């Protein structure tokens, strides 16, 4: 109940509506009861340590800004996948699907922090304004740039439809890969591929930025440099580079410059995302909460493919890397879509 003494704060969990129209309806009704300063729209992935560090990585270091754009970047992948299925929440998930559940919120928020322009200050308004500008510059996802999938039974477990809370003929997507195009001076022409799904081969949330090969290279068969920002599991940031193998033969191999949180900060306890964000809400700090304008812009990116029955939902075995169609879509844009991640020693 709203009080006139002290302060009022309400935390709203995602998904915020089911699309642009329902979000605006929800937002207008909330504003009848609460002011904007009292509404905290929470996305717990913003509370993860690596996402909290994103702006520091980008704007407190000189080395990254010169390469952070279309002149040097070949492509960017945002990977969000879980090995577990949707059992236990099938009834909720079946009415939403993977785009509403993780892509419109978690994935686009990660993308916004990664690709936004430097804010004037670190105030909540300035950071949100830059995130919103980035989200508004993303073209709406097209049908032909979307792959939907639903997992079927395998030796790793039952199918999505085996859940008793899911309809036997459900066409809800538990997997989606789509290609995003950002139309601004920094990113125009760089494909952004988002892959998100459940009941896949591993638990992994990360960003992979692949750089262009050096022009006029002196060496054959070199691989592109990659900057990998791993959010889950085992928080890690590493830069993949080419190096000479230290032996009598002149052979090149990939190596990594990395920061592993469990090694560098082993004496620190990393706060849980909800722990951090609920504390910030109590303190009245809106820096890491999502403002209305961001959500409105994010829904517009996906409105055309939500509940679009003309996009086929292909099957993929539980525990696999997802449907082959996703890799084919990425290949259309010259992107080698992530498969199994290497084990970080």
> Which residues constitute the domain of residue 284?
10-332
DSSP SS3 for 180: strand
The answer to whether position 129 is within a domain reads yes
Q: Are strands 146-152 and 39-42 parallel, antiparallel or unpaired?
A: unpaired
The answer to whether position 341 is within a domain reads no
CATH of the domain at 67: 3.30.360.10
The answer to whether position 77 is within a domain reads yes
Q: Are strands 191-197 and 73-81 parallel, antiparallel or unpaired?
A: parallel
The answer to whether position 2 is within a domain reads no
The answer to whether position 343 is within a domain reads no
Residue 1 — very low, low, confident or very high, per pLDDT cuts 50/70/90? low
The answer to whether position 284 is within a domain reads yes
Say whether 106 is catalytic: yes
Provide the domain count of the chain: 1
Residue 342 — very low, low, confident or very high, per pLDDT cuts 50/70/90? low
DSSP SS3 for 186: coil
The answer to whether position 345 is within a domain reads no
Query: How far is it, in rounded angstroms, from Cα 345 to Cα 263?
Result: 11
The answer to whether position 39 is within a domain reads yes
Per-residue pLDDT, 343: 42
Q: Residue 120 CB: number of other CB atoms within 10 A?
A: 11
What is the residue whose two structure tokens read 């395998």?
154
Q: Among residues 44, 106, 288, 338, which one is catalytic?
A: 106
Mean pLDDT of the chain: 92
Q: What pLDDT, in 10s, does the model give residues 113-130?
A: 999 999 999 999 999 999
Whole-prediction pTM: 0.92
Q: Two tokens at 192?
A: 């952004």
């Amino acid at each position: 109940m709203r009080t006139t003494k002290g302060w009022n704060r309400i935390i709203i969990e995602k998904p915020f509506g089911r699309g642009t129209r329902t979000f605006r309806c929800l937002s207008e009704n909330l504003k009848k009861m609460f002011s904007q300063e009292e509404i905290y729209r929470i996305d717990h992935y913003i509370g993860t340590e690596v996402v909290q560090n994103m702006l520091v990585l980008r704007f407190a270091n000189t080395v990254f800004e010169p390469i952070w754009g279309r002149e040097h970047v070949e492509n960017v992948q945002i990977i969000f996948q879980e090995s577990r299925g949707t059992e236990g929440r099938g009834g909720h998930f079946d009415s939403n699907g993977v785009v509403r559940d993780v892509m419109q919120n978690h994935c686009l928020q990660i993308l916004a922090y990664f690709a936004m322009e430097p804010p004037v200050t670190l105030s909540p308004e300035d950071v949100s304004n830059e995130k919103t500008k980035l989200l508004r510059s993303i073209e709406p996802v097209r049908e032909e740039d979307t792959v939907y999938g639903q997992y079927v039974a395998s030796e790793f477990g039952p199918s999505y439809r085996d859940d008793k809370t899911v309809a036997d003929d459900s066409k809800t997507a538990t997997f989606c890969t789509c290609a995003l195009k950002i139309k601004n001076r920094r990113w125009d022409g760089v494909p952004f591929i988002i892959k998100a799904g459940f009941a896949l081969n591993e638990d992994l949330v990360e960003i992979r930025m692949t750089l262009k090969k050096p022009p006029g290279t002196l060496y054959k068969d070199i691989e592109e440099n990659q900057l990998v920002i791993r959010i889950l599991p085992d928080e890690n940031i590493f830069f993949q580079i080419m190096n000479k193998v230290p032996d009598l033969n002149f052979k090149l191999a990939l190596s990594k410059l990395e920061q592993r949180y469990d090694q560098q900060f082993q004496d620190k306890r990393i706060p849980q995302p909800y722990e951090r964000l609920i504390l910030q809400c109590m303190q009245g700090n809106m820096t890491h909460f999502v403002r209305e304008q961001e959500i409105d812009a994010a829904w517009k990116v996906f409105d055309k493919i939500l509940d679009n029955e003309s996009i086929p939902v292909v099957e993929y075995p539980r525990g696999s890397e997802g449907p082959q169609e996703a890799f084919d879509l990425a290949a259309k844009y010259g992107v080698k879509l992530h498969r199994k991640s290497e084990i970080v020693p």
